[in-house]
Amino acid sequence: MNDVLLTIILIVLKLGLVLGTVLTMAAYMVLAERKILGRMQMRYGPNRVGWGGMLQPLADLIKLLSKEDLIPEGADRWIFMLAPAISTATALLAFAVIPFGPSVQLFGRTVPLVICDLDIGVLYLFALSSLAVYGVALGGWASQSKYSLLGGLRAMAQMISYELAMGLAIAPVVMASRSFSLTAVVEAQQTLPNMVRHPLAFLIFLVAVMAESKRIPFDMPEAENELVAGYHTEYSGMRFGMFFVGEYLNLIVLGSMLTVLFLGGWYGPLLPGVCWFLIKVLGVAFFFIWVRGTLPRLRYDQLMAFGWKVLVPLGLLNLLITAAWMIWRG
Amino acid sequence: MATLLFYILAAIVLMAVLLCLTRNNPVHAVLYLVHALFGLALLYFLLGAPMLAAWQVILYAGAIMVLFLFVIMLIDPDLFEKKASRGRFRWLPVGFLSGALLACGGVLIMMDPLAAGGIVRYRLSPRAFGRALFDEYGLAVEILSLILLFAAVGAFHLGRRHKGKEDAS
């Protein structure tokens, strides 16, 4: 009986810890982005609420919760209301398989620092990232607004195209570590991170991830000077907030994917594993913010051509080379 | 237990497909089809092929259905004119189907289909799946992929823009 109780306590503890950390991180990621972008554009960014702006996420939350929840006339009510939930839920569910540290000894038993180590973890992540399109697409469609519809359409086309490149970039990593389990993928990188071993796959994955997160060089779905705000034009209050938080959750998910698949996961000198994992994820997030502050937006045809005519052939070539290398080495 | 779950899932899939066929709104039809595909994925999982279940979700629910949705949103201008169907309980079928799917998924995670006995005989590991696909049935897979390639080339040919003709007219 004690054993069962301990198992349940451990699961609840892990779930609570991961959810709490991830949601807080997403909230502060918004603040960090605004602050860093501010610095890059020679201004201060939000610095009025709390110590140097530290309570800004809380103030934003209160503001969003107290706004009116508008549903446009003629909108498909249920789909309109559920779409933001889909986009947040798919991002949150992804954390179930991400290993954020090596196993630890707790209450006299070995506890792996991952909620559920699926033996098809890579495919699970991939499936969730392909389902994330639904939130955006349905939100855009259900709003009954032309801007939203165009945003949804763009998001769908973009995410399908870049997912292909993403899959092609993941394949060599899976081949090299001989497993679909994310823990096994990390353990295969103990001596050398995959970033060094598969540099081309890393670059393809990095670009694909940026496109999947719909961030600036690839933010066609919400290009504010053409589409008002794209798929979430008609959303207000907390429903908009859910789209917004979902976007930043997605940023953390994709950062974690990059860390686990290419940056060696929790491995690093001196510091404990979890610290290294966090440092790497935050580093990736900082890189994304930096890119947003630096690069202009692509044109839509450039975006599509780049995905299909550059990334996909490069990914196929890389896959071929890796396979040939593995067969040659035996 | 596994057999019972099999029939429940099969019923859910059939119901979702029937609802998909009878909808007026094409987007709603696609959403019901997504439910059916999820049900199929759970069936594969129940029958001991988690890998196949994952691919079912990635390829069918994640890519092909999104393409369907894309085409519907792109080519159907009437969609804007159509009046949204009214009624207080029209969320009921969707709610029921998703709830049932979630419940079945939960049960599937909790229990080990292999240990439950009944219709499930063995579990297919990713390695065995790959072997079967490219070793045992390699020729069939190659022929199928060739057919798909022909179809893609044919579609490309039909969809090609005839530059000369446009200039003439």
- The answer, yes or no, to whether residue A239 has pLDDT greater than 90, is no
For residue A77, give the nearest of B117, B91, B129 by alpha carbon: B91
CB atoms within 10 A of CB A61: 14
Q: Indicate the pTM of the whole model.
A: 0.83
Number of H helices, E strands in chain B: 9, 0
d(CA A99, CA A264): 11
Taking CA atoms, A225 is separated from A248, A303, B58, in Å, by: 21, 17, 33
Q: Which of B54, B66, B70 sits opposite A127 (nearest CB)?
A: B54
d(CA A168, CA A316): 7
pLDDT of residue A97: 84
Query: Which amino acid would we find at residue A227?
Result: L
- The answer, yes or no, to whether residue A243 has pLDDT greater than 50, is yes
> pLDDT digit string (tens) for A105-126?
776 677 777 777 777 788 888 8
Element (H, E) at A56: helix A56-66
Question: In the numeric block, which tokens belong to residue B160?
Answer: 């090609």
Taking CA atoms, A202 is separated from A125, A169, B57, B126, in Å, by: 17, 7, 25, 24
Q: Distance (Å) from the C-alpha of residue A131 to the closest C-alpha of chain B?
A: 5
- Those residues of chain A whose CB sits closer than 8 Å to some CB in chain B are 74-79, 119-120, 123-124, 126-127, 130-131, 133-134, 137-138, 141, 144, 149, 152-153, 156-157, 159-160, 163, 180
The answer to whether A97 and A121 have CB atoms below 8 angstroms apart is yes
Number of H helices, E strands in chain A: 13, 2
Which residues in chain A touch residue B38, judged by CB atoms under 8 angstroms apart? none
Q: Distance (Å) from the C-alpha of residue A97 to the closest C-alpha of chain B?
A: 14
Would you give the DSSP letter of residue A295?
P
The answer to whether A56 and A38 have CB atoms below 8 angstroms apart is no
What Rg value do the Cα atoms of chain B yield, rounded? Answer: 21
- The answer, yes or no, to whether residue B88 has pLDDT greater than 70, is no
> pLDDT digit string (tens) for B106-151?
777 776 666 666 666 677 777 888 888 888 888 999 999 999 999 9
> pLDDT digit string (tens) for B38-80?
888 888 888 877 888 888 888 888 888 888 888 888 876 555 5
Question: Which residue shows structure tokens 């998910």?
Answer: A253
Among A63-67, A133-137, A144-148, the minimum mean pLDDT is found in A144-148
For residue A21, give the nearest of A278, A229, A294 by alpha carbon: A278
CATH of domain B2-123: 1.20.120.1200
Q: What angle do CA B56, B62, B63 make, to 5 degrees?
A: 100
d(CA A71, CA A82): 12
Which residues in chain B touch residue A141, judged by CB atoms under 8 angstroms apart? 27, 69, 73
Domain boundaries, chain A: 67-329
Q: How buried is residue B45: exposed, middle or buried, by Cβ count under 10 Å (0-12/13-18/19+)?
A: buried
Decide the pairing of beta strands A109-111 and A104-106.
antiparallel
Residues 6+ apart with CB under 8 A from B35: B12, B16, B94, B97, B98, B101
- Residue B96 forms contact with A (CB below 8 Å): no
The answer to whether A221 and A162 have CB atoms below 8 angstroms apart is no
pLDDT of residue B149: 94
Question: Which residue shows structure tokens 């789909």?
Answer: A79
- Cα torsion for B48, B49, B53, B59, to the nearest 10°? -160
The answer to whether A233 and A147 have CB atoms below 8 angstroms apart is yes
Q: Distance (Å) from the C-alpha of residue B80 to the closest C-alpha of chain A?
A: 7
Question: Any bridge partners for residue A123, and if so which?
Answer: none
Q: How buried is residue A261: exposed, middle or buried, by Cβ count under 10 Å (0-12/13-18/19+)?
A: buried
Q: How buried is residue A251: exposed, middle or buried, by Cβ count under 10 Å (0-12/13-18/19+)?
A: buried
- Residue B67 forms contact with A (CB below 8 Å): yes
